Structure 1
Amino acid sequence: MISLTIHLARRLKRIALTGLCLLPVLTGGALGAPADPPTTSFRLAQEGYLYEFPRDHGSHDAFRTEWWYYTGHLETAEGRRFGFELTFFRRAIAPDQVETRPSRWSVDQLYLAHLAVTDITGKRFHFHDRISRAGLGKAGADPTHLHVWLDQWRAESSDGAGDQQKLEAKADGVALSLTLDPAKPPVVHGERGISKKGAAAGQASHYYSFTNLATAGNLTIGTETYRVTGTSWMDHEFGSADLSADLAGWDWFSIQLADKRELMVYRLRHTDGSSDPASSGTLVLADGRTQHLSATDIQLTPLDTWTSPTSKATYPGRWQLSIPSLGLVLNLTPLLADQELRTTRSTQVTYWEGAVDVTGTEQGKPLNGRGYIEMTGYAERIKQKL
């Protein structure tokens, strides 16, 4: 998916080190400030990229930006429902901007992480974030297989191959410990090895997902620990290019249908509200085969709005997602209106990402499922890098 890393990077262009503390200095962060100058220090996503697993589950330090993004729906045996998000972001600093080499305190890789839990039954939304630099064991990612961490938050494969994945995170009053087993192999998005994010050369990323991960483990909220099972989704994406200057934000959708199909759609949104032609999606069939969807295949219609009482931002409240060529019409309804992750001292960014229920029809026959939606650029315009 298109990640908040590209927004967070705006806030982290300069890093101040004070002893063991890493502090983001908010320079150039105001709306309309010029983007960082083009850099040739990092590799661009190019057509023809050949994925190799488990290597590609690991970090790709030759690219400027990378993320590992988990979302999912969980449930207890008694029927109590939850949604969760655990995300790790890596942001590389260009070598010519690292002024403290060869000190081991040098910052050339910055890591951020988000943890959010939607207590659907309890009607509460919990979110936390972390930020740290690579080095001295504080944060990092292995380049050979899935193992990314920030302090005690981590995502890793138990056997190195990525076939089984484990998530661990704990913050004030919230903790999760989950094991995820893929029901399908990884799905590569886009065409010819790249997921386009614009018309310019290199304006793309390498992007794949585990769209169906059987999930089990423990979730703690306050003093209560719940044994939960469910289904999760994992995105892994890496690239280095700039987004187009006229983009205000994006809307991203991951949908898991009850008939064992999955759907990913993202809409790059211009300042006038129109969709960029680079917007696209992927339909994953029950047997794991995929169908690429272009911007012209997808229709997205907001059905109502919700205004945050805290940020005052107004977001689409419900969505209708249609693929006319398939006769597919889906209605996406948030399971809790307020699933907004708001500005903190670490991230300085506000966006909405949350669990939704899915109902609809295909060729007139009823469908249902669950999903997640991410909406950015509503609280403040995003004009940043991939």
Structure 2
Amino acid sequence: MRRLLALALIVTCCAAGWRSAGTPYVFSFPRDHGSHPNYRLEWWYFTGHLLADDGHRYGFELTIFRIGITPGAPTPRPGQSRWRSGEIFPAHFALSDDTGGRFSYAERLVRPALGEAGAAREALDVHAGDWSVRGIEPIRLHAQTRAEGVTLRLRSLKPPAVQGHDGISRKGSCASCASHYYSMTRLVGEGSVRVGARRQSVRALVWMDHEFGSDELESNVVGWDWFALQLSDGREVMLYHLRRRNGTFIPASSGSVVARDGGVRHLRAADFSIVPVGAWRSPHSHALYPSGWIVHVPLAALSVRIVPRLRDQELVSRGVSYWEGDVCLEPLSTAASNRAAVEGACTMGQGYVELTGYAGEVPR
């Protein structure tokens, strides 16, 4: 899915000249790891699970958005201000200290002027200030604030998984309600995490999404529930429900199962079910979020209980407030327990969940 949160930072909408993602697209790598400036919206999204040598557990999110202002993102011409730009780069970084029971996040909005932000067009090389993701073998990821930071070197165990059909990931019934979207569902590596003055070496299991397009959600969609699940049997599952105002979800909701060998099977909305089994009231936004789910994917012979490692993983940003957190996957026979999730049982795997539209409708 992801990550139309960038729309919250756009003042003007739908300028002429942007390319539509509603037509078939053939991905070519490594070129398509880079930017696509003829599309209005783009994001590189990383979430992961970090395990220190002493058993301390963390989760993290780093998302760098590219929002187009002018199609093609032309550079300033002679005589124009160096601060003039055809695109801007918002970014979100969050760290869940699962063992310590703490969650923190930061956001920034950076213009490309003077090299402060940018994205290469032929390779994975994107940065917003000193938050960056570069390279492919390995991928070098770095984000830090005064209080915490993550630095990782990652390699992919599987080829990119293209989401949807014919390179089109549908987000509604209109012809242009779509994006081009692929995932790298099992990145592994090592690096370090810093919390305050304490720095620890960690092993990492990471999920990456890269998505680009130009158009908005279907008009009656108020938010979405998105799941990225890394199963302990070596498979991965992506699911999303696009929610209407009346609480139902639209038929374009979909997902995928990535096999151990990297093969991808597309899922229609009828191929899976997501049932909330708990709730959490945010003390920050006062939104009521689902907190815990039962997921069934019969085509994958999968039934799983999903438990947040921390209940409070809400990002109250300048644009849209949303919940983005690491979760534990357990058999249905296991009683739901946040404490067990923190302590790392997770017998069926780990994942990340994103919930939007609960603290106010997503912008269009």
Same fold (TM over 0.5): yes
Letter of the structure 1 residue corresponding to residue 306 of structure 2: L
The equivalent residue for 1:7 is: 5
Letter in 2 for 1:149: H
Where in structure 2 are the equivalents of 1:1-386 lying within 5 Å? 1-3=1-3, 6-13=4-11, 36=13, 38-94=14-70, 102-157=80-135, 162-343=136-317, 347-360=318-331, 368-384=348-364
User: Contact 1:46 / 1:193 at 8 angstroms: preserved in 2?
Assistant: no
Q: CA, structure 1 residues 324+91, in 2 after alignment: closer, same or farther (shift >3 Å)?
A: same
1:97: Cα distance to partner? 12
- What displacement does 1:334 show? 0.3
Q: Deviations over 1:313-372 (max 9, x none)?
A: 0000101111134442111100000000013xxx3321000000001269xxx9600000
After superposing the two structures, state which structure 1 stretch, 130-139 or 62-71, moved more. Answer: 130-139
Q: Which runs of 5+ in 1 are unaligned?
A: 15-35
SS at match of 2:230: strand
SS across alignment from 1:175: strand
Structure 1 residue 103: Cα displacement:
2.9
Whole-angstrom distance in 2 between the partners of 1:310 and 1:48: 42
**Residue type of the alignment partner of 2:47:** T
Q: 2:287·2:358 contact (CA, 8 Å) conserved in 1?
A: yes
Separation (CA, whole Å) in 2 of partners of 1:227 and 1:10: 36
Which residue identity is paired with 1:290? V
Secondary structure of the structure 2 residue equivalent to 1:136? helix
Deviations 1:75-121 (Å, cap 9, x if unpaired)?
011111100111100000146999x9743221320101111110000
Distance in 2, Cα, partners of 1:10 & 1:118: 24
One-letter code aligned to 1:141: A
Deviates more, 1:186-195 or 1:100-109: 100-109
| Distance 1:96-1:154 versus aligned 2 partners, 3 A rule | closer
CA distance in 2, matches of 1:77, 1:211: 24
Contact 1:247 1:383 (C-alpha < 8 Å) held by counterparts: no
Contact 2:26 2:166 in 1 (8 A): no
May I ask how many residue pairs the two structures share in their alignment?
349
- CA-to-partner distance for each residue in 1:32-66, whole Å, 9 max, x for gaps? xxxx3x43311011443111111100000000000
**Could you state the TM-score of these two structures normalised by the residue count of structure 1?**
0.87
Deviation of 1:13 after TM superposition, in Å, equals: 1.1
> CA separation of 1:155/1:107 partners in 2, compared to 1, >3 Å: closer, same or farther?
same
Would the alpha carbon gap of residues 238 and 103 (structure 1) be closer, same or farther in structure 2, given more than 3 Å must change?
same
Q: Which amino acid aligns with 1:380?
A: G
Deviation at 1:377, TM superposition (A): 0.4
Identity %: 42
Inter-partner Cα distance in structure 2 for 1:9 and 1:253? 21
**SS of aligned partner of 1:253:** strand
In structure 1, C-alpha distance between the alignment counterparts of 2:235 and 2:171, rounded to whole Å: 25
Q: State the TM-score, normalizing by the size of structure 2.
A: 0.92
Question: How much has 1:294 moved relative to structure 2?
Answer: 0.4
C-alpha distance after superposition, 1:210-259 (max 9, x if no partner): 10001210100011001000200000000001211111100110000011
Flag the 1:320–1:309 CA change in 2: closer, same or farther, 3 A.
Answer: same
Please tell me whether the aligned partners of residues 155 and 166 of structure 1 are also in contact (alpha carbons under 8 angstroms): yes
Encode CA deviations 1:258-285: one digit per residue, 9 max, x unaligned: 1100000111111111111111001001
1:176: Cα distance to partner? Answer: 1.1
- Give the alignment's Cα RMSD to 1 decimal: 2.0
SS of the residue 2:248 aligns to = coil
Other structure's SS at 2:115 match: coil
Q: CA, structure 1 residues 88+360, in 2 after alignment: closer, same or farther (shift >3 Å)?
A: same
1:153-209 Cα shifts (integer Å, max 9, x gaps): 10000xxxx232010111021111101110111110001111001111121111001
Q: CA distance change for structure 1 residues 244 and 383 in 2, over 3 Å: closer, same or farther?
A: farther
In 2, Cα distance between equivalents of 1:303 and 1:220:
34
Task: Give the gaps of 5 or more residues in structure 2.
Answer: 334-345
- For residues 132-162 of structure 1, what are the alpha-carbon distances to aligned partners after superposition, in whole Å with 9 as ceiling and x for unaligned? 11221011000010000011110000xxxx2
Amino acid at match of 2:44: W
